[in-house]
Amino acid sequence: MKQTLLPILLLMSCAARAGDMKPLDDEALGQVSARDGVSIAAHIVINDPTLVGAVADSRMSMGFGGDGAYRYVVLKNVRGVVDMAGVHIDAAKKPDGTDYVAVTLPGYLKFTNLGFESLSVQSDPLAPVTSSMGSVNINGTLNMQGQFRIWAH
């Protein structure tokens, strides 16, 4: 009983000690400093065929039209895994004193069987694929460095 009561009491004392939240204006918010910003890592799985209830025939299409005729670029069975790490978002100052948001490129990207079975152009996006312009399957890693900066005018 004492072992569970002590952590609960510590959490309650920390909550009681913290003051009410107060809104900050732009100038006060500009004076706030943090350590590392926000870091993002992701493991993205697209159309995993090993899952229960997986769809065997998926499509992604994009339509283009003009003069009453429509054509669709159809990608059949888009799938794969993307692992990403090292994306950071941070606030910083330019030499002239204005603020900007710095977004670093992902330091590490790994692709596992990322691609699609066929690429076709057809007038009906739901019709069976009769001719394919090829397929793509990417396996590998990519290491990047650099920064994307966003600021107001």
Q: What is the pLDDT of residues 136-146, one digit of tens each?
A: 999 999 998 99
**CA pair distance 91, 149, nearest whole angstrom:** 10
Q: What is the DSSP letter of 144?
A: -
**CA pair distance 115, 47, nearest whole angstrom:** 11
pLDDT (0 to 100) of residue 110: 96
Encoding tokens for residue 121?
Answer: 């152009």
pLDDT (0 to 100) of residue 69: 86
**CA pair distance 71, 65, nearest whole angstrom:** 6
**pLDDT bucket at 119, cuts 50 / 70 / 90:** very high
Given a contact cutoff of 8 angstroms between Cβ atoms, the answer to whether 119 and 134 are in contact is yes
**pLDDT bucket at 11, cuts 50 / 70 / 90:** low
Checking DSSP bridges between strand 108-116 and strand 99-104, what pairing results, if any? Answer: unpaired
Per-residue pLDDT tens digits for 62-107: 999 888 889 999 999 999 999 999 888 888 888 888 888 889 988 8
